[in-house]
Homo-oligomer: A and B are copies of this chain.
Amino acid sequence: MINDFIYEIPTKVYFGKNQLHRLGQELSHFGQRVLLTYGGGSIKTSGLYDNVVNEIRSSKLDLFELGGIAPNPRIDSVREGAAICKRENIDVLLAVGGGSTIDATKWMAAGACVDFDPWKFFSDNVRVEKALPVCSVLTLSGTGSEMDGGGVITNPQTHEKIGRGSKLLVPKVSFLDPTNTYTVNAYQTACGSVDMMSHIIEVYFHPERDLEMLDHVMEGLLKTVIKFAPMAMEEPENYEARANLMWTSSWAINGFISSGKRHEWSCHPIEHELSAFYDITHGLGLAILTPRWMEYVLDEDNVEPFYQFAVNVFGVDPKLPKMDVAKEGIKRLSDFFFHTLKLSSTLHELGIDDKNFEVMANKACQGNVLKGFKTLTPQDVENIYRMCL
């Protein structure tokens, strides 16, 4: 069953080392007043902040700023940014940072065009009807926020972390310079790499047979991360490794590989509760969860994609019995996450026990079930959390 779909990726991408001189010109297409958003200030130490500000100023644009956007960005940042946009009549937002900064900026752009509290986009799933244009300069490979319309926002008051999207929030122009990720440390490089692999795995394991072409593309993307993530951890300034990771992260989630696939994701909603409750890094949570989820859902009826994953991504011998091949694929993925990428393999190591698992499982299922690759009840989700202890 191949579903009909509409393909539309409007983001223009400047990829490479010597592209930032186009920034002012691109921004000026959208207007005069620019809100520059960023995170904790690492872009100031790296010099990127100065380069961006110079570009904006030399193009005679009016610059406004909002720094301090936290990882797992909070709804408060969104509220603040939306208020600045309204007060200052902002024409275009420029997010300089990783997925957190870009995600938050998208929702500022939507919040700027409504009269209600932007948390309603999440709590009530209000549809985005209008948004200011967003551009980005990416400094961390992983979330793919630079080329998609999604954004995940945390509300610490309600322990909620919710992702929503709209095609109106897809960045118009993104600048992807791999050298801007040279300063990302080994741990964050690993977490970003897991995030992009998870975006692919969520799509690769789909309940209906679909365009096989896309399966092969996904296998190619996964092989790319497996080769270049450890290289970027070892040699932070390896341009080839950083470039391959950066462009893969965009394509893992920009909509191409998921064309027509309408199934819900599994590991992401399960992980979102982990980082909502414990504020752990999203990619780390995904690394711990994904192999357990795979073990939990694998059965005789759905062994086929696990088998293909093992053979085509990890080169497991296709002549062995199917179930053995499938399990070996999961083992290789665990080894990659916990040995090659050196990530913690259990929640216990992070000081997390089982006391919130039941609540988290219910939240992940939103009071119902998770209809992903395989339907999961809250009890299933709780069981998966327990496998991660």
Interface positions of A (Cβ within 8 A of B): 2-10, 12-19, 209, 211-213, 215-217, 219-221, 223-224, 227-228, 239-240, 243-244, 247-248, 251, 259-260
Q: Are B6 and A247 in contact (CB-based, < 8 A)?
A: no
Q: For residue A17, which residue of chain B has the nearest CB?
A: B4
With A and B bound together, what is the CA distance between A194 and B111 in angstroms? 50
The listed residue (B220, B243, B248) touching A219 by CB distance below 8 A is: B220
Q: Which of A17, A220, A228 has the most CB of B within 10 A?
A: A220
Q: Are A14 and B6 in contact (CB-based, < 8 A)?
A: yes
Q: For residue A224, which residue of chain B has the nearest CB?
A: B213
Q: For residue A4, which residue of chain B has the nearest CB?
A: B16
Q: Are A221 and B216 in contact (CB-based, < 8 A)?
A: yes
On chain B, the residues within 8 Å of A215 by CB distance are 220
On chain B, the residues within 8 Å of A244 by CB distance are 211-213
Q: For residue A216, which residue of chain B has the nearest CB?
A: B220
With A and B bound together, what is the CA distance between A13 and B18 in angstroms? 31
Assembly stoichiometry (copies): 2
On chain B, the residues within 8 Å of A4 by CB distance are 14-19
With A and B bound together, what is the CA distance between A354 and B170 in angstroms? 55
With A and B bound together, what is the CA distance between A215 and B211 in angstroms? 20
Determine how close the nearest CB of chain B comes to the CB of A388; give it in whole angstroms: 30
On chain B, the residues within 8 Å of A219 by CB distance are 216, 220
On chain B, the residues within 8 Å of A224 by CB distance are 212-213, 216
On chain B, the residues within 8 Å of A2 by CB distance are 16, 239-240, 243
The listed residue (B3, B6, B19, B227) touching A12 by CB distance below 8 A is: B6
With A and B bound together, what is the CA distance between A217 and B5 in angstroms? 21
With A and B bound together, what is the CA distance between A41 and B126 in angstroms? 48
Q: Beyond the given A4-B18, A7-B13, A15-B260, could you list 4 further A-B residue pairs with CB under 8 A, ordered by the A residue number? A: A6-B19, A7-B15, A10-B10, A213-B247
Q: Are B260 and A16 in contact (CB-based, < 8 A)?
A: yes
On chain B, the residues within 8 Å of A209 by CB distance are 240
On chain B, the residues within 8 Å of A13 by CB distance are 6-8
On chain B, the residues within 8 Å of A220 by CB distance are 213, 215-217, 219-220
On chain B, the residues within 8 Å of A248 by CB distance are 213
The listed residue (B3, B16, B227, B228) touching A5 by CB distance below 8 A is: B16
On chain B, the residues within 8 Å of A239 by CB distance are 2
